[in-house]
Amino acid sequence: MNVCISELLLLNVSFVSICGRCWTTLCLEVWDALKVDLQKDVKLILGCSKWFSNVGWIFTGKLNRGLSVVDSLKLLKEGEDLTEDEIFLSSTLGWCIEWLQAYFLVLDDIMDASHTRRGQPCWFRLPKVGMIAVNDGILLRNHIPRMLKKHFRNKDYYVDLLDLFNEVEFQTAHGQMIDLITTLEGEKDLSKYTESLHRRIVQYKTAYYSFYLPVACALLMAGEKLENHIEVQNILVEMGTYFQVQDDYLDCFGDPETIGKIGTDIEDFKCSWLVVKAFQLSNDEQKKLLLENYGKADPGNVAKVKALYHELNLQGVFEEYESKSYEKIITSIEAHPSKAVQAVLKSFLGKIYKRQK
């Protein structure tokens, strides 16, 4: 897990200033401390940490989820400077979320038969890795409770924190299950791809871990009880749904160089927002074309689906969805009684609105 500062600086990480210090430096300082413990574990069990030095790509993501824990805590404290301890602990929770994301992505890329991730071949695509990637995913997942135990076990919110991570993982795995089983061969039927099915999939597979989890971590650190923040959870789930619609859109219309991955949703027969919309807007002839070409690996079939998406002006339909969704989320945020919570939610929304990657 060796990563040098130049690698981190290349990541386009947002430079959020905390107590006059830049986030990247803070992330690195906290990471250095966490790394020592994880390497100790690996050395103890395996005798060497050589294999693990390969997962530096974890750091090449946007780090939005991790950064949002520190950002949110600062906003919840209404501008009051965070103490050194609060910076360390919120950064640690941020890294735990990035670890969770890395674990999901390593496994998701196998399940989706993806080719690239973060501008490089997917981890399992490396000849020396292959299905060892499954175990690497499990290892990444197992680091999280170790980091939590080491740094949070004396906190009164420790049990709530463990429960939160467990619950969110449970929700994500179920979302992933629906995402996968809807594509099963022999049951290919596009009329089942409705907006409500799509909503259910993305709420579970993406929204809880990507949006609710970072803010919930900050709320626990700020001494809040999560059961008093159901409305915050609802707004974050809405934001996460919007984020996954963007992901579905970028899978087809995004630039692979910019998003760092090559889309596979059409080939994989995914219940993507685009196919849901396409089916809704198609006439009988267009529906027939979609049924004949969707879910096939042949580039000729994929090109026909993409041409239909263009014909149906799905780019325009998405732009309209994007502005409407933004307005709706802003309205719910502004109805929240706490200005500090409003600031947390607006800051998160600002990070993703009209994103290109």
The footprint of Mg ion (CB under 5 A) covers 108, 112, 247, 251
Per-residue binding letters, 111-130, with ligand GPP (x by CB under 6 A)? -x-x----------------
Q: At what angle do helices 230-253 and 213-221 cross, to 10 degrees?
A: 150
Question: What is the rounded CA–CA span in Å between residue 273 and residue 199?
Answer: 9
Considering only 57, 59, 99, 104, the residue that binds ligand GPP (CB under 6 A) is 104
Q: How far is the CB of 98 from Mg ion (least distance, A)?
A: 17
Considering only 247, 308, 309, 349, the residue that binds ligand GPP (CB under 6 A) is 247
Question: What is the rounded CA–CA span in Å between residue 138 and residue 156?
Answer: 28
Residue 305: closest CA among 265, 248, 259: 265
3-state helix, strand, coil in the chain (%, to 5): 70, 0, 25
Residue 105 binds which one of Mg ion, ligand GPP, none, with CB within 5 to 8 A depending on kind?
Answer: ligand GPP
Alpha helices in 182-298 (DSSP H): 195-202, 213-221, 230-253, 256-259, 273-281, 284-293
Question: What is the rounded CA–CA span in Å between residue 245 and residue 319?
Answer: 11
Residue 140: closest CA among 55, 40, 43: 55
Residue 349: closest CA among 332, 326, 328, 331: 326
- CB nearer ligand GPP, residue 74 or residue 117: 117
- CB nearer Mg ion, residue 264 or residue 286: 264
- CB nearer ligand GPP, residue 71 or residue 112: 112
Question: What is the rounded CA–CA span in Å between residue 129 and residue 123?
Answer: 7
Residue 287 makes CB contacts below 8 A (sequence gap 6+) with: 190, 279
Q: Does 276 bind ligand GPP (CB under 6 A)?
A: no
Q: Does 205 bind ligand GPP (CB under 6 A)?
A: yes
Q: Token pair for residue 5?
A: 């500062």
Question: H or E stretch including 117?
Answer: strand 116-117
Considering only 26, 75, 82, 107, the residue that binds ligand GPP (CB under 6 A) is 107
* Residue showing tokens 């008093």: 228
Residue 136 binds which one of ligand GPP, Mg ion, none, with CB within 5 to 8 A depending on kind?
Answer: none
Q: Does 268 bind ligand GPP (CB under 6 A)?
A: no
Stretch that binds ligand GPP, among 24-32, 99-107, 187-195, 225-233 (CB under 6 A): 99-107
Q: Does 246 bind ligand GPP (CB under 6 A)?
A: no
Q: At what angle do helices 195-202 and 273-281 cross, to 10 degrees?
A: 170
Q: Residue 155 — φ and ψ, nearest 5°?
A: -85, 145
Residue 267 binds which one of Mg ion, ligand GPP, none, with CB within 5 to 8 A depending on kind?
Answer: none
- CB nearer Mg ion, residue 72 or residue 325: 325
Type of residue found at 283:
N
Residue 173 binds which one of Mg ion, ligand GPP, none, with CB within 5 to 8 A depending on kind?
Answer: ligand GPP
Residue 172 binds which one of ligand GPP, Mg ion, none, with CB within 5 to 8 A depending on kind?
Answer: ligand GPP
Residue 86 binds which one of ligand GPP, Mg ion, none, with CB within 5 to 8 A depending on kind?
Answer: none
- CB nearer ligand GPP, residue 86 or residue 112: 112
Q: How far is the CB of 209 from ligand GPP (least distance, A)?
A: 7
Question: What is the rounded CA–CA span in Å between residue 291 and residue 78?
Answer: 53
Which residues within the stretch 170-189 sit at the binding site for ligand GPP (CB under 6 A)?
172-173, 176
Per-residue binding letters, 35-74, with ligand GPP (x by CB under 6 A)? ----------------------------------------
Type of residue found at 194:
T
Q: Which residues bind ligand GPP (CB under 6 A)?
A: 104-105, 107-108, 112, 114, 172-173, 176, 205-206, 247, 251
